[in-house]
Structure 1
Amino acid sequence: MAVAVREINGVELEQLIAEGKVLADFYSKVCGPCKMLSFVLNDVAKNVDNVEIVKLDFDENKETVEKYGVVGYPTLILFNNGQEVERLKGLQQKPIIQRMIER
């Protein structure tokens, strides 16, 4: 079963990561690689069901960006039960993201 990629804010992220596995995409609306990554994440979402995939606007979630030490975009952070498991910076390809989620 597929999951849907959805946009959330920092408060929602804190609630989600406490409950299970979450892949958070920190992005900017003006970033070319971020836009390309959105297409990749939508494709990844079609093939996974054990993770929530969410997007957080870098500029609208400054507190959360600072809390997790995100210094550039796009940045993907995989959380599992409230803990950061892995982090990828920059545009990533589908196989790399899927391997990250499956670990």
Structure 2
Amino acid sequence: MAIQNADKTNFKELIREDFVIADFYGTTCVPCKLFSKILEDIEAEIPFLNIVKLNTTDNPELAEEYGITAVPTVHFYKDGQLVASHVGVMQPQAVKEVIAQHMYA
């Protein structure tokens, strides 16, 4: 799977099934760019991951609905249910630990 960009028309559909990493980011957020690169590297290593990116600058109503108060924020969903979340940049090993804990559970 490739990293997919989401907006208010498709976000709920994209997180509905399987294990999904949702990256909430802002247009001018420097740490968001760093975390985006970390996710790209993980996706290259684990190519079957579902990663969805949502620009909170362009989709403030979704950010509010999902309780996003700071970026980057990452949510981990399993079949549409939030199973873990983190505010700020996560290190690659921490992301992989969440994947290992929830993806096959």
TM-score, with length taken from structure 1: 0.90
Cα deviation for residue 38 of structure 1 reads 0.9
What letter corresponds to residue 35 of structure 1 in structure 2?
K
Q: Deviations over 1:5-60 (max 9, x none)?
A: 22111331200221211101000121110011111000010122453101100111
The equivalent position to 1:28 in structure 2, one of 6, 26, 29, is: 26
Q: Check whether the contact 2:3–2:51 (CA below 8 A) recurs between aligned residues.
A: yes
| Corresponding position: 1:68 with 2:66 | yes
- Identical-residue share of aligned pairs (%): 33
Equivalent residue number for residue 100 of structure 2 = 102
The equivalent position to 1:77 in structure 2, one of 66, 75, 78, is: 75
SS at 1:11's partner residue? Answer: coil
Structure 1: segments with no counterpart, 5+ residues: none
How many residues are treated as equivalent by the alignment?
Answer: 101
RMSD of equivalent CA atoms: 1.3
Q: Check whether the contact 2:2–2:47 (CA below 8 A) recurs between aligned residues.
A: no
Structure 2: segments with no counterpart, 5+ residues: none
After superposing the two structures, state which structure 1 stretch, 69-78 or 51-60, moved more: 51-60
